[in-house]
Structure 1
Amino acid sequence: MASELVFPGETVPAKHVNLKLGPGLLQQATLSNPSESSVVSTKAGLLQHSANRSKWWVDSNARRYVPAPQESVIGVVTQRLGEGYRVDIGEAHQASLDALAFEGATKRNKPNLKVGSLVYARVSLAHKDMEPELECFDAQTRKAEGFGELKGGFVVRCSLKMCRQLLDSKHFLLPLLGGKFPLESAIGMNGRVWISAKEPKQIIAVARCIEAVDPDGGGMDAVEAKAFLETLDA
């Protein structure tokens, strides 16, 4: 199915037993029958869905990140507050992260994050009238599944569209870079990508390639990116 252009207020055909709505979509009661609900678009863009149609979202080249439940984000701890933390995720409001929202965390054994620490987390609560809430484990398995504190490495800022592309397993960039040298990465839907490699020059190469491929930057395709990577000392 070709992507459909939608505008704010339009009803979209998002239906599934395990329906999950991403950015740009809102589920609300219908006016004619309050017991029923419909899904409407809250912003203009291209309507997208996963292969099994369980996940739906509106793809737009927004500049500012708006949290949506179950999205992965990279945040910076800005404050320790009681039994948790305040985290900057690039949104209008700071997010909260409970100290027990980590794999295996207990009141006696929990992470001790410092101001400035990086975390890879999942949005557990997102509402326009409340501050976002984060968790650093998979809600179903209670396992870390890659979430938690990010140590070392470097954070590259890019467009929200670039992050969505990097999360697509079919996108060419990360396999291209991984074939050149070993690297680790964590991709946040909030316009931040964490990268770690053995040598600083390799991290610089990854950062420059992300900027070059970013639709808001150079917009290079696979052939151009491969040629560009060859010019870098990595």
Structure 2
Amino acid sequence: MTTVVPGEKIDAQHVNLKLGPGLQQISSNGPSQSKIISTRAGAVNHSANGSRWWIESNSRRYVPALQESVVGAIVQRQGEGYRVDIGSAHSATLDGLAFESATKRNKPNLKVGCLVYARVSLAHKDMDPELECFDAQTHKSEGFGELKGGFVVKCSLKMCRDLLDPKHFLLPLLGSRFPFETAVGMNGRVWINAKQPGQVIAIARCIEAADPDGGGMELKAIKVFLDTLDI
């Protein structure tokens, strides 16, 4: 794993290259002379097939990136859509029709304070980010949409990426103890819901304990910690 600083050139190449947080493609003398540089300090990461690259840095400040999933809160109704707080420098826009099967006569009626699980459909440094609550390929909700009930835990961006990794121990461990629902946003927010309030509190405390910005507990320590909670 390579650690870089802002402005450093990254040797990322792929036929269908997609750049994630911390990377930017710039052109000096046309497309053929373009290069990819880092915009933040951190570790260079890429997907298994090398098509997606990003900079891993343990931060709580979210910078929107295309196709990333986020947990947001409605802060304002705006014409036919909404303004959504996703924890970035600027609030995002969410069109009222950007939901599965939504029409002008049949679309969600979200109120200020409602939570949504959405995907970033536009991320540009000179424009406000835009969201959509369906899968761009299938136009089905695929889990995106309004999040009813539950509780939102705020954590580091690194913790969110860890939770989205199928190999990470925490969510499978909790799922072996009791059933629950979760929606992990790449923006440092995790929505959780369970049958009992004590279970919701337990999940939240375990996420905070495993967070590198918090306790940084590993599997063995989390198991001991779980046994001390009233669930």
SS of the aligned residue for 2:132 comes to strand
- Residue 10 of structure 1 is matched in structure 2 by 8
Identity, in percent, stands at 72
Moved over 4 A (4+): none
**Is residue 60–residue 155 contact of structure 2 (8 Å, CA) maintained in 1?**
no
Q: 1:78-122 deviations in whole A, cap 9, x for unaligned?
A: 111101000000111110000010011111111110110000000
Q: CA deviation at 1:35?
A: 2.6
Q: CA deviation at 1:199?
A: 0.5
CA distance in 2, matches of 1:163, 1:27: 25
Query: Residues 113-132 of structure 1 correspond to what in structure 2 (within 5 A)?
Result: 113-132=110-129
Report what 2:57 is aligned to.
Answer: 60
| TM-score, normalised via structure 1 length | 0.96
Distance 2:35 2:101 in 1: 38
How many equivalent pairs are there?
230
Structure 2 partner of 1:91: 88
Aligned to 2:148: 151
CA displacement, residues 15-36 of structure 1 (integer Å, 9 cap, x when unaligned):
222211111001121x2x4132
Q: State the distance in 1 between where 2:40 and 2:89 align.
A: 17
| Partner of residue 203, structure 1 | 200
Match of 2:215 in 1: 218
Report the alpha carbon displacement of residue 233 of structure 1 after superposing the two structures with TM.
1.1
Alpha-carbon distance in 1 for matches of 2:94, 2:48 = 31
Query: Does the 8 Å contact 2:3/2:44 carry over to 1?
Result: yes
User: Structure 1 CA distance, aligned partners of 2:140 and 2:148?
Assistant: 19
2:24 paired residue number: 26
State yes or no: 1:169 paired with 2:174. no
Deviation at 1:227, TM superposition (A): 0.9
Any idea what SS the aligned residue of 1:232 has? Answer: coil
After the TM superposition, which residues 179-190 of structure 1 pair with which residues of structure 2 at under 5 Å, given as runs? 179-190=176-187
What residue identity is the alignment partner of 2:138?
A: T
Stretches of structure 1 lacking an aligned partner (at least 5 in a row): none
Q: CA RMSD in A?
A: 0.8
Deviation at 1:213, TM superposition (A): 0.5
**Counterparts of 1:9 and 1:167 in 2: how far apart (Å)?**
28
Paired residues of 2:100 and 2:134 also in contact (CA < 8 A): yes
Residue 142 (structure 1) aligned to one of 106, 116, 139:
139
Distance 1:150 1:23 in 2: 25
1:216 counterpart SS class: coil
C-alpha deviation, 1:63, in angstroms = 2.7
Structure 1: distance between partners of 2:12 and 2:144 = 29
Q: Distance in 2 between matches of 1:164 and 1:26?
A: 20
What does residue 73 of structure 2 align with?
76
